[in-house]
Amino acid sequence: MRMHAQRGQTLPVWTFGIITTLMLSLMVFNYANNVRWQIRAQNASDAVAQGIMSVQTQHYNEMMATLHAAAIEEYRIRRTMAAMLYILQGSGGCTTGATSASQPFDCGIAYASLRTNYVAQVARYTQLVNQMQAISQYTPAQQQIDMAAIAQSFETTCTSTGPTGGDCVFKFAVTSPTARPGLSGAIVDSSGELNGDGYALPANIAPDFQPLQIEVTACAQVTSPFASFFKMQAAPFYAIGRAGATSAMVTQEWFAPGGLVNPNSPGGTQFFQQPEFVESPTNTANATVGYNPATFCTATSTGYDWYAVHWCTNNYTSSFTTPSPGSTGSPTLGGFFGHTVNDEYSVWTGWWGVLPLAPYSGTFTPSAGNCASNVAWNSP
Partner 1 sequence: MAETAMAISFTLILLFGMIQLVALSYFQVAGDAAVFVAAHEYTLGVSPATIASAESSMVPQGIATNVIYTAAPPNPVGSGLFNSIYGNNINNNERDDGYTLVRPQNFTAYLNNSAAFPGILGNLPVNSASVEGYYLMTNQQMNQFGTGPDNSATLGGNYLNAANASPFLPQSDATIANMNTPPYYLPSPVIQVCGDPWQAGGGHTFNTQCGNPHVWFLGLGEFLENSNYAPTSGLTGVSATQAFATMAQHQRIYANLIAAFPAYSGATADLYIGYVQKQFANYNGTTGTLPGSSTPCTPNICGAGYSISGVNLCWYDPMGYWESSATKPSWQPQPLWSNESQKCNFTNDDAGGDGVKNTQGWNGASPALVYEWDQPNFPGAYMLPGNYPPNPTAGGSAAGDPGY
Scanning residues 105 to 164, which ones bind partner 1 (CB under 8 A)?
106-109, 111-112, 115, 118-119, 122, 125-126, 129-130, 132-133, 136-137
Residue 147 beta carbon to partner 1: minimum distance, rounded to whole angstroms: 18
Q: Does 229 bind partner 1 (CB under 8 A)?
A: no
Q: What is the DSSP string of 230-258?
A: TTEEPPPEEEEEEEEEEEEEEEEEEE-TT
* Cβ-based neighbours of 245, under 8 Å, separated by 6 or more: 49, 50, 52, 53, 213, 214, 216, 354, 355, 356, 357
Q: Does 173 bind partner 1 (CB under 8 A)?
A: no
Q: What is the DSSP string of 282-320?
A: T----TTT---TTTTT-TTSTT--TTSBP-----EEEEE
Q: By C-beta, is 84 or 372 nearer to partner 1?
A: 84
Stretch that binds partner 1, among 144-152, 155-163, 328-336, 370-378 (CB under 8 A): 328-336
The total number of residues shown for the chain amounts to: 380
What are the backbone angles phi and psi of residue 252, rounded to the nearest 5°? -130, 130
Residue of 291, 327, 321, 322 lying closest to 308 (CA atoms): 291
Stretch that binds partner 1, among 150-158, 202-210, 228-236, 372-380 (CB under 8 A): 202-210
Q: By C-beta, is 236 or 303 nearer to partner 1?
A: 303
Q: Does 376 bind partner 1 (CB under 8 A)?
A: no
Q: By C-beta, is 152 or 208 nearer to partner 1?
A: 208
Q: Does 276 bind partner 1 (CB under 8 A)?
A: no
Residue 283 beta carbon to partner 1: minimum distance, rounded to whole angstroms: 18
Q: Does 195 bind partner 1 (CB under 8 A)?
A: yes
Binding positions for partner 1, 252-271, rule CB under 8 A: 252-256, 259-263, 268
- What is the spatial distance between Cα 291 and Cα 285, in angstroms, rounded to a whole number? 6
